[in-house]
Amino acid sequence: MLDNPHPYLVDILRQSSDFSRKSNGAFDVTVQPVWELWNRTHREHKQIDPQSLSNACRAVDWRRIEILDSQIKIHPRTEITLNGIAQGYAADRAAEALLTYGIKNALLDTGEISAFGHSKEDTSKEYTSTAGASKQWQVGIQHPRIDSAYVAIAGLDNRCLATSGDYESGFDEEHKNHHLLDPATGRSPSDVSSVSVVAPDATTADALSTAAFVMGLEDGSNFVRRTQGADALFVLKSGRVLKTDGFPLVTEGESRS
């Protein structure tokens, strides 16, 4: 139990609960016990024990958090990780502060990207994209298998960007088991390498990229499409790159020098 929680904590937990409800639990901040089991097993150079994994999954349920302005109550055995939303939330709060001080153009990187306004008016760096905007901020999307390469460039048409990938924190060299875990099974999804989402705010982009990764290509794409102003780019384990229609992809032929 936490009395007098900071308003930011109340806000982020309420938004987390909302994303959990909308995603039918694919996004769940109470997945921490499952991650801790995988991390401990990896450190000890052991194989995951199915019964221990099943027990850890039983401790996961976003509905066990009661959120009030004056108090946060957490069910016994419930543990929280904000890894799937906190970076986006931080980007939004930083952007909010800059806007308060009259900053009109900014690109912020807190691990996820918040962008508003446009980049500097240098025609040598001016791009057009499939979204049709010019002088927009552009961000490279990390290739999930090549450290020094981008898989695509997104033109941020006053939207924010977040990426969830199997390459950031893994438990094996094959990228089969990693920090992105399905709360229902306790295991990493098998068909997706990364999901990048653009949305009107970074909190939404961050949570959607996490949920869409867990849900997979078809369900994840549909989930993103149901969110106003959101689009996604998926990189599959096979190497295929697929996107929703409105994803603001910048292609080489559409750049101007």
The model's confidence at residue 173, banded by pLDDT at 50, 70 and 90, is confident
b/e per residue, 201-224, with b = 16+ CB within 10 A? bbbbbbbbbbbbbbbbbeebbebb
Q: Does domain 2-74 have CATH number 1.10.3980.10?
A: yes
The model's confidence at residue 1, banded by pLDDT at 50, 70 and 90, is confident
Is residue 214 within 8 A of residue 26, CB to CB? The reply is yes
The count of other CB atoms within 10 Å of the CB of residue 83 is 18
68: exposed, middle or buried (Cβ count in 10 Å: 0-12, 13-18, 19+): exposed
- pLDDT of 126 reads 43
- pLDDT of 252 reads 60
Largest pairwise CA distance in the chain: 59
- pLDDT of 205 reads 98
What is the mean pLDDT of the segment spanning 77-93? 96
Query: Which has more confidence, 57 or 253?
Result: 57
What pLDDT, in 10s, does the model give residues 114-136?
999 988 754 444 444 444 444 88
In single-letter form, the type of residue at position 246 comes to G
Q: Is the pLDDT of residue 187 over 50?
A: yes
What is the mean pLDDT of the segment spanning 103-119? 94
- pLDDT of 121 reads 53
Q: What superfamily in CATH does domain 91-254 come from?
A: ApbE-like domains (3.10.520.10)
**Residue 122 backbone phi and psi in degrees, to 5:** -120, 110
Average confidence score pLDDT of the chain: 92
The model's confidence at residue 255, banded by pLDDT at 50, 70 and 90, is very low
What pLDDT, in 10s, does the model give residues 7-37?
999 999 999 999 999 999 999 999 999 999 9
What is the mean pLDDT of the segment spanning 189-201? 97
The token pair that represents 7 in the structure block: 């308003």
Q: Is the pLDDT of residue 169 over 90?
A: no
What pLDDT, in 10s, does the model give residues 157-167?
899 999 999 99
What distance in Å separates the CA atoms of residue 233 and residue 235, rounded to the nearest whole number?
7
What pLDDT, in 10s, does the model give residues 34-51?
999 999 999 999 999 999
Q: Is the pLDDT of residue 180 over 90?
A: yes
Query: Which has more confidence, 174 or 120?
Result: 174
- Percent above pLDDT 70 for the chain: 92
Domain spans of the chain, in order of start: 2-74, 91-254
Q: Is 2-74's fold the same as 91-254's?
A: no
Place of tokens 């309420």: 14
- Answer yes or no: pTM beyond 0.85: yes
Q: Is the pLDDT of residue 153 over 50?
A: yes
- pLDDT of 210 reads 98
- Percent above pLDDT 90 for the chain: 84
- In three-state form (DSSP H/G/I as H, E/B as E, the rest C), the secondary structure along the chain is CEECCCHHHHHHHHHHHHHHHHCCCCCCHHHHHHHHHHHHHHHCCCCCCHHHHHHHHHCCCHHHEEECCCEEEECCCCCCCCCCCHHHHHHHHHHHHHHHCCCCCEEEECCCEEEECCCCCCHHHCEECCCCCECCEEEEEECCCCCCCEEEEEEECCCEEEEEECCCCECCCCCCCECCCCCCCCCCCCCEEEEEEEECCHHHHHHHHHHHHHHCHHHHHHHHHCCCCCEEEEEECCCCEEECCCCCEECHHHECC
**Residue 214 backbone phi and psi in degrees, to 5:** -65, -40
Q: Is the pLDDT of residue 87 over 90?
A: yes
Is residue 130 within 8 A of residue 253, CB to CB? The reply is no
Query: Which has more confidence, 198 or 147?
Result: 198
